[in-house]
Every structure is written in structure tokens, then in C-alpha cells.
Structure 1
Amino acid sequence: MADTRERDIIHAFVELSNELVDGYDIVDLLSGWTTNCAQLLDVAAAGLLLADGRDVLHVVAASSERTHDLEVFQLQRHQGPCLDCFNTGVAVNVPNLEVEAHRWPDFVRIARSKGFASVHAVPMRLQGTTLGAFGLFGDTPGSLNEDDLALAQALIHVASVAIINERAASDRDVINAQLQHALTGRIVLEQAKGVLANEGNLEMQDAFAVLRRYARDHQRKLTVLADQVVNREVSGQEILRHARFTSIRP
């Protein structure tokens, strides 16, 4: 079991490093990265929030739709561990959500209704700048052990570098431009998922899998393809046919 996990960790870092060298679509990279983190850290789900130039948080990636919806709810109600993590720059560990109902009543209620019992929020920082917060959600009570926390932090460091390259990290204007690019790309991605979900009668998570596979199989950037789908430059039916041909519908 330990050998398998070690191979999975190596594979995740190799995949990330290859994408960084070969050129990458930031939204695609962060989406895959978030899913890999959830699997490697043995949590039920993960979600990434990034701040724009006004320090307003947005959902950029989530390993599942229930996580995406919970993160959006957290932002709408202005309460939750990921917001506290971002605002303080300090990790927030909640082994048992039920005992924190007084702290975030609305968030805990919705999180429990979606099956989550614990959460660990970790700040995403680069050279003193807090870029966002990364939430790890568990279906059972409990904390992450020290090894998992160290791995989570290492993965977050890599993602931070992916968003902002090292040479530009001291330039706040460059940081804001890179973050805004990621946030805008995510909005277009959500719109494209909606188009495919409607045309193919799919769940949103399935629509994302279909879109991402088409982008990778045709060597296109995910956000470019998403924009083409939204603007009807690429037919949703063409992407759905490719999904049926490759038998990837989850």
C-alpha cells in the first residue's frame, strides 16, 4: 500500500513538472492538480479558492461538484474555514465540523448536508503574498497527519509557482494579471460545462470530464476550447460524439 502511494505521489509530481516545462493551461492544470491532491491525501474532496486583484475570493478548481457548490456557498455567506484561512494566512484545522456549528452555522449546516464531517484549509502563499486558500474535505471526522500536511504544502507550493512564475512573483501587477486570467478562464469553463450538460443531458462533473478529454486528445488548451464551445465555434455535439467514441462518460 505504501509503495502504491509513493508511486502515485511521484506520478503526480512528474505530471506537474512535465506540464510546467511543456506549457500549460492554468485552469486545466489546477483542475487536475486539485483532483490529484484529494486522491493523494486520502480526503473525500478538495477545492481551491484564489483571490483577484481586490482580494475577493473565487472558486477556481474543485474535485467534485458538491465541493464546488460548498465553496461557492461559503463565499456567498462570507463564512467558513477557507475564508478564515485566507484572511489570517494561517491553516485552519477542523477535525469535527459539528463542534464548530457556533462558529460557521450556515457553512456547517450545508457541509454536513453534503456529507462532509471535517475540513482542513491551507493558505496558498508565494513570497509573502497570500494567493488563496486550499480546502481539504473529509467524509469522516479526523485531522490530517503530519506527513499529509507536509505533502499538501509541497503540492500547494508547486501550484503557486504554476500560477506565478518566480521571476515575476515580486510584481503585484503581474500577480493580479495572472490570477485574473485564471479566474476568467474558470468562468468560461463553467459556461462551457453548462452547454455540454444541457446538450448531452449530463451532470456538470461529467460535462467537465468530457470537455477535458476532448481538449487533451486534440492537444488544445482547456480554456480556449471552453471559449470556443461557449461561442459556438466548436459544436457541443462534436465533443459529445468524441466522448461516446472514447467511452469516457463517467
Structure 2
Amino acid sequence: MSVPDARVTRTFVELADTLVADFDLIEFLHLLTVRCVDLLGVEAAGLLLANTHGVLNVVAASGEQVRLLELLQLQNHEGAAIDCYREGRAVQCPDLTHAPPRWPVFARAARDAGFLAVVAVPMRLRNDIVGAVNLFAASSGELGQDRLSVGQALADIATIGILHERTLRRHEVLVEQLQTALTSRITIEQAKGVLAERLGIGVDEAFVSLRMYARSHRRRLAEVATSVVERLPEGDSVVAAYRGTH
């Protein structure tokens, strides 16, 4: 199955438009996982990023279910994304009922979540691997070279977004930005939980409300999340905005 050129072009233009000064890295990476799902005919996507010590962390996911699967990979040191990061190449398992023996926990959890195939593509900068993008499908079968190429291109765009033109000039700025992204992700996860509890909704819906508020008020996602977690007035505004539309 091929990917329509027009859709690919629109997606790449949309992502490129976000690569401006002071862009929101977490929002950019989340958007990228969503567009992976839209373009590649998969049901879910997640993104793992290595910190300054080479330890992988979950920084973006198209939904809560896949975020938990990514965490499970990290906790058990097994799975497609782990192999992809270690080997620096795409890893594909077209049928998780016959997954590699080295993935016992991951394969079972992925199947239990309704996924039958997985692909991971590396995020590369020259010879360095900085992370991996994981793609999950509900039906078995290979992704196909056309969609695999688009998936790799999206992973490359993610790498560009993370490293950004300005950070390439000074390594310490890059280190700081990566660490900030990982810290922000933790705050956002906490905010999702707080909103879910206050509003009586699921964490995926809580994340949507958080993103919508940040976008409509031209605020960084991490800043709004901090307000929610610390129970600042803006956090109450997020709650009120959701209740006003539901």
C-alpha cells in the first residue's frame, strides 16, 4: 500500500512550519506521532529519545495505550524500539504471534493491547542514533518499502526538530534542550493525570484538552501543564475551558 504524495507533502510542510524559533518540542513530537498514524496506515505510534547518558525515555505517543507499551519496553529492556536503537537500523516484526524469543514480555503485552505487527525506525544524526519511532498495527503483515521509507523520513524530521539548527552550533545547548524535553514530558504526564481526575475523563482526552488550551492561548504545552500540576489559576482555566465545551 503506497502513501499518496499529496498527503506526504502536506504533512512535511505542516511539520516544517513548526520548526521556527522557540518552537514547542513536545508538541512537535506528539504531532509527529499522530501524523505517523495518519499517513502510514498504523494504529499507534510512539517515540523514544535518549538522554545525555544514552538512556531511552518516552517523549511522545499517539495515545495512552502505546505510551504504556513504550514504558514496558524500557522497563524490560526488550522490544522493537530497543533493538532498533541498539542496532541503528529499522526493525520489523510482521506477526507478533511469532515474535523473536527475546521479546517475551513486550510481544505478549502488544498482542494483549490489540496489536499484531510492529516496526521501529531509528532517529539518526550522521552516525549517532538519538532515539527510535515505534509503529504499531492491528493487523499482521509487513509495512512495505514505500511506507517504511516515509516512516524513516518522518523519524528524520523528528531528529531535525530535536536537534534544531541553533543547537547544532553549541553542544551544551543541545544537552540542555534534550534534558528540558524529558523533564517537560514528566510534567505533562502528571498534568494529564490531574486533569483526568478533576474532570472525570480518560488521560487521552485530558491530553487533548491540555493541547487545545495551549494552542488557543498560544502557550507552551509544558507551561500549561505546570500550571495544572501546581494548581495555579491557569490550571483552573484549563478545567473551566473543558467544562465550557462539554
TM class by smaller structure: over 0.9
- What CA distance in whole angstroms lies between the structure 1 residues aligned with 2:233 and 2:19? 27
- What CA distance in whole angstroms lies between the structure 1 residues aligned with 2:211 and 2:166? 30
Map 1:1-250 onto structure 2 (within 5 A).
5-21=4-20, 23-100=22-99, 102-166=101-165, 168-169=167-168, 172-247=171-246
**CA displacement 1:155-192 (0-9 Å, x = unmatched):** 11111111112464375544332221111110010011
How large is the RMSD of aligned CA atoms in angstroms?
Answer: 2.0
> How far does residue 24 in structure 1 lie from its aligned partner after superposition?
1.3
> How far does residue 148 in structure 1 lie from its aligned partner after superposition?
0.8
In structure 2, list runs of 5 or more residues that go unmatched.
none
- What CA distance in whole angstroms lies between the structure 1 residues aligned with 2:50 and 2:33? 17
AA aligned opposite 2:14: E
**CA displacement 1:98-149 (0-9 Å, x = unmatched):** 1115221111111110001000011101122211011000101011111111
- What CA distance in whole angstroms lies between the structure 1 residues aligned with 2:32 and 2:178? 16
Contact 1:200/1:240 (8 A) holds in 2: yes
Contact 1:53/1:180 (8 A) holds in 2: yes
TM score, norm. by length of structure 1:
0.92
Contact 1:101/1:109 (8 A) holds in 2: no
TM score, norm. by length of structure 2:
0.93
Provide the identity percentage: 44
Contact 1:127/1:170 (8 A) holds in 2: no
Cα distance change, pair 23–177 in 1 and its aligned pair in 2 (3 A) = closer
Q: Which moved more, 1:143-152 or 1:10-19?
A: 10-19
> How many corresponding residue pairs?
246
- What CA distance in whole angstroms lies between the structure 2 residues aligned with 1:242 and 1:222? 15
- What CA distance in whole angstroms lies between the structure 2 residues aligned with 1:82 and 1:187? 20
